[in-house]
């Protein structure tokens, strides 16, 4: 089953996506997601200039060998651009293999371990009444686990909070990568105050628990902004509200920072969305410093790398919480859902729904009902790309915001 074409498709139905489509001599096509928010064209060039020429003529069935060939063969390993490109190839080859077998991918990964994957949605608001409305709207949409992000008094815009306040729970409201008015594209800048955040967040969770009771799983994302001692304090302050997890409490480059957090709090911890290799988890798994692995299939090196990572995590009793914001394309999302269904140590799946424009370009078959996602039983990943629709949405540069402290110092966003 020789590869005859490997095409990189960049499309922007409201936000940018990079997709690799691999075609075999017998006409089977497979899709892989290589989207890297704010740096999309670097992956597109890596794929079309450096990877596609190597794929032509290779045997599409040799997935592990191709993964190793691209990873070790480049000599320069890891890094978000390389690993998104490797992931795109790997995912497309799994799509092809499953289509050739006439099976949904999860069957090749060992078959279903559950009936569906518990999904969490993103509720947010500028203040508590808006957040409560947003939670109600998410419950009405069928979510059975909810992330809560709140505006902070004194700060104009805060990570995770929809600009309109998401009072109506409109799931399309929050898209952090933005273009900035006229002139050359530049990231917008936000202002951040960690002390104000630490004072406010426990009050928000107190209000949400008072309104919705103890049962509903609640999550929160710290987006890498706290020092270890600040994160330890937040974890302790949130213990009465029984979080499902506190995500990205401290900056991702320093995994040992979580030792201190862990010593002080029983709030479960999750990290990993900006990691780009299973190797990044080393001490986090072996010392059991986290409870959930947060990588995206797209950024950790594809289905092959994610499967190895989750199997290793399982040995330490650590579960999955695969990254699923809107900057993971429906192709990356489908790959996550097949893994979610198959692995034993599934924890939860993030699910921010894609816009109507995105779903016009990517024809998905996965389903959401009663709080659970299912990848569908279509052969392969179960997602097809409509190239005519994709061509209607050309690439548009957009960046994630840059964050500054109140004195102007650049801080983690």
Site residues (CB under 5 A) for Mg ion? 221, 273
Q: Which of the residues 130 through 189 are near ligand GCO (CB under 6 A)?
A: 176
The least CB distance from residue 221 to Mg ion, in Å, is 4
The least CB distance from residue 97 to ligand GCO, in Å, is 28
- Three-state DSSP at 78 gives coil
Structure tokens at 99: 């289509």
Which CB atom, from 176 or from 375, has the smaller least distance to Mg ion? 176
The least CB distance from residue 272 to ligand GCO, in Å, is 10
Identify the active-site residue in 46, 143, 159, 292. Answer: 159
Which CB atom, from 58 or from 223, has the smaller least distance to ligand GCO? 223
Based on the number of CB atoms within 10 Å of its own CB, is 412 exposed (0-12), middle (13-18) or buried (19 or more)? middle
Which CB atom, from 39 or from 77, has the smaller least distance to Mg ion? 39
Identify the active-site residue in 122, 138, 200, 223. Answer: 223
Residues sharing a CB contact under 8 Å with residue 401, sequence separation 6 or more, in sequence order: 157, 159, 176, 178, 187, 188, 189, 190, 413
Mask for 286-325, x = binds ligand GCO (CB under 6 A): ---------------------------------------x
Strand-pair partners of 29: 23
The correct pick among 33, 40, 95, 273 for binding ligand GCO (CB under 6 A) is 273
The distance from CA 359 to its chain's CA centroid, rounded to whole angstroms, is 17
Residues sharing a CB contact under 8 Å with residue 54, sequence separation 6 or more, in sequence order: 69, 70
Burial 36-59 (b: 16+ CB within 10 A, else e): bbbbbebbbebbbeebbebbeebe
The least CB distance from residue 276 to ligand GCO, in Å, is 13
Helix or strand holding residue 383 (H, E) = strand 383-385
Mask for 24-43, x = binds ligand GCO (CB under 6 A): -------------x------
Residues 195 and 57: their CA atoms lie apart, in Å, by 57
Q: Does 350 bind ligand GCO (CB under 6 A)?
A: yes
120 classed as catalytic: no
What distances in angstroms separate CA 23 from CA 2, 26, 181, one per listed residue?
9, 8, 39
The least CB distance from residue 120 to Mg ion, in Å, is 11
Interstrand relation of 348-350 and 117-125 (parallel, antiparallel or unpaired): parallel
Which CB atom, from 168 or from 217, has the smaller least distance to Mg ion? 217
299 classed as catalytic: no
Binding site for ligand GCO (CB under 6 A): 37, 176, 221, 223, 273, 325, 327, 350, 400
Which residues are annotated as catalytic?
Answer: 159, 223
């Amino acid at each position: 089953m020789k590869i005859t074409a490997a095409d990189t498709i960049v499309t922007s139905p409201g936000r940018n996506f990079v997709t690799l489509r691999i075609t075999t001599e017998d006409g089977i096509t497979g899709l892989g997601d290589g989207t890297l928010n704010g740096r999309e064209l670097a992956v597109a060039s890596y794929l079309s200039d450096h990877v596609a020429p190597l794929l032509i003529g290779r045997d599409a069935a040799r997935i592990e060998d191709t993964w190793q060939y691209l990873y070790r063969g480049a000599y320069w390993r890891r890094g978000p651009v390389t690993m998104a490109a490797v992931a795109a190839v790997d995912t497309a080859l799994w799509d092809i293999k499953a289509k050739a077998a006439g099976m949904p991918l999860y069957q090749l990964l060992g078959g279903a371990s559950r009936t569906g994957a518990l999904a969490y949605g993103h509720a947010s608001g500028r203040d508590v009444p808006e957040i409560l409305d947003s939670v109600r709207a998410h419950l009405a949409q069928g979510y059975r686990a909810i992330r809560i992000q709140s505006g902070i008094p004194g700060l104009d815009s805060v990570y995770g909070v929809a600009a309109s306040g998401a009072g109506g729970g409109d799931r399309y409201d929050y898209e952090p990568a933005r273009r900035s008015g006229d002139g050359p594209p530049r990231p917008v800048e936000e202002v951040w105050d960690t002390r104000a955040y630490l004072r406010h967040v426990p009050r928000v969770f107190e209000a949400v628990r008072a309104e919705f009771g103890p049962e509903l799983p609640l999550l929160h994302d710290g987006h890498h902004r706290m020092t270890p001692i600040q994160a330890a304090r937040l974890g302790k302050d949130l213990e009465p509200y029984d979080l499902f997890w506190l995500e990205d409490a401290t900056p991702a480059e320093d995994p040992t920072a979580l030792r201190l957090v862990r010593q002080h709090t029983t709030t479960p911890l999750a990290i990993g969305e900006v990691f780009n290799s299973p190797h990044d988890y080393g001490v986090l798994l072996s010392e059991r410093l986290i409870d959930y692995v947060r990588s995206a299939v797209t950024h950790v090196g594809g289905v092959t790398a994610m499967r190895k990572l989750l199997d290793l995590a399982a040995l330490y009793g650590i579960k999955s919480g695969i990254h699923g914001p809107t900057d993971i394309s429906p192709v990356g999302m489908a790959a996550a859902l097949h893994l979610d269904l198959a692995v034993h140590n599934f924890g939860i799946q993030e699910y921010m729904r894609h816009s109507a424009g995105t779903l016009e370009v990517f024809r998905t078959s996965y389903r959401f009902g009663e709080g659970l996602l299912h990848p569908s039983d279509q052969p392969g990943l179960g997602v097809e790309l409509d190239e005519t629709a994709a061509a209607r949405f050309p690439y548009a540069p957009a960046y994630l915001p840059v964050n500054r402290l109140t004195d102007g110092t650049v801080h983690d966003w």
